[in-house]
Structure 1
């Protein structure tokens, strides 16, 4: 019989004990009730789910933290670009200042209106009246040029030219100052007169377009004139326009003096058809009153005249 060494015996003993322990554990597991086994598996699954949830939560936290850092970095970059753009625009504005007058009434515009009409009275005498008005400038400062011609049939014509500087003083009114030059071919002396003029041009309440002027001339000639009119639209093209023109003589010591007080009045109704905004024919019916002239060394006194006028005309705008 061979003799086993003590160390070999010890190793074999340990191996035998280990196998025996594993066999007993398997027998115990198989003999364990099903509920206990299920609880064991459930606890393991729960532990696994908790670990998985913690892992996912950590991932979400890291993702959110990364997004927050990215957002902060993006905001900082945008702020830096905006600041750089603002500094660049300020520097450009300092070098090239922008003028916004053209966007706020600073445009220079021009408009011209020609109004010519032929009128007849009850006696069949005709009269040609022509008005030309041209304006140029901005909303605040304008220059007005007005030309007037009045020729009665078989008589010489009267002419007048007026140059006015116009300055806006409110939303609807301009103050004007200038001069008027007039020629009267009926007079033997002083055919040409020069008057200083001051007045208002604008829109009176209820949309009455108004021109009111005070004239100061030689020989204590002081007079006041008023022209006002308003449009009433029957259609977009057919328009009624009542108008009133009057002259008041405050004083006159000239050789061909007019009677003081209300010197003349024209009250009329114009009906026009606008073919377009540049071409507008019309018919006109008016009532006139003229007070007459004083008796002087150069003229005889004349009485007042009242009469009706009717006719047609053409207005051009460009």
Structure 2
């Protein structure tokens, strides 16, 4: 082939790249073509089919055997919900005790929950104590995920005896590998007044700090080991000593976390 004449061709200007078009147009632009009523029905159908699903979820956050000075014990902490993206029915239960003795503490909660932010729910309902001098409480609280991925559950309780108490729980999942997760956890309980029959003093009742290392065999099932330290503080510490109890307890725990 003869390419000699190619050098005589005048330079051609480089083709300009077409301007990138905006990836999105005006909101509800389809209304101008199909009509607002038609598109409203389509949007409602899309939400019903893909966004308004009712789900059931249940999690055993802590189900554990506790080795400690004196008598070994156990603890459960479970929760779950049924509902959609905005409105849910929540249920929670937790309790603990020592083997061979009556259950020390046990409660169950039934709550209405409404989303108030992308990662936070406002909750209100009732709590029933199942042991000791039983009480029924009105509950108001919030639950969700704060910045830096801390899970927080905070609630205030007003009992049918007029006692006002509060509880704040926070935990953080630090993934070490694909299967190993280290979870620091803290819980603090507070009271507005002394409740001698429950061994609760005004101010900070007790503080718990724990560290658990779990292995996720599958995401839905993960055994763990850990350690947790409990302190009774203030007047609650005095109540515990009067009852012959140790106000500071160390628990070595073995348990399982599961959900479905």
- TM-score relative to the length of structure 1: 0.63
| Deviation larger for 104-113 or 195-204 | 104-113
Report if the CA contact (8 A) 1:220-1:253 is conserved.
no
Report if the CA contact (8 A) 1:256-1:293 is conserved.
no
- Partner of 1:314 in structure 2? 256
- Partner of 1:289 in structure 2? 231
- Give the number of the structure whose residues are more often strand, by fraction: 2
Paired residue total: 223
- Give the number of the structure whose residues are more often helix, by fraction: 1
Query: Cα offset for 1:96?
Result: 7.9
Question: Considering only CA atoms, is the larger Rg found in Structure 1 or Structure 2?
Answer: 1
For structure 2, list consecutive stretches of 5 or more residues without a partner in the other structure.
Answer: 1-32
CA distance in 1, matches of 2:120, 2:163: 27
Report if the CA contact (8 A) 1:293-1:303 is conserved.
no
- Partner of 2:219 in structure 1? 277
Query: Cα offset for 1:236?
Result: 1.0
Report if the CA contact (8 A) 2:185-2:210 is conserved.
yes
Q: Describe the shift of the 1:302–1:249 C-alpha distance in structure 2 as closer, same or farther (beyond 3 A).
A: farther
Query: Cα offset for 1:108?
Result: 1.5
Alignment of 1:30-179 (within 5 A): 98-102=44-48, 105-114=51-60, 115-121=62-68, 123-157=69-103, 158-179=105-126
Query: Cα offset for 1:106?
Result: 2.2
CA distance in 1, matches of 2:116, 2:56: 20
CA distance in 2, matches of 1:199, 1:124: 35
Report if the CA contact (8 A) 1:116-1:314 is conserved.
yes
DSSP-derived class of the 1:106 partner? coil
CA distance in 2, matches of 1:91, 1:301: 71
Q: Paired residue for 1:203, among 145, 155, 165?
A: 145
Report if the CA contact (8 A) 2:222-2:258 is conserved.
yes
DSSP-derived class of the 1:251 partner? coil
The structure showing larger relative contact order (alpha-carbon pairs under 8 Å, at least 6 residues apart) is: 2
Residue by residue, what CA displacement relative to the aligned partner does 1:173-194 show, whole Å, maximum 9, x if unpaired? Answer: 111110100122xx4xxx3210
CA distance in 2, matches of 1:127, 1:166: 32
Query: Cα offset for 1:94?
Result: 8.4
Residue by residue, what CA displacement relative to the aligned partner does 1:120-169 show, whole Å, maximum 9, x if unpaired? Answer: 12x24211001221111112111110111211233211220001111111
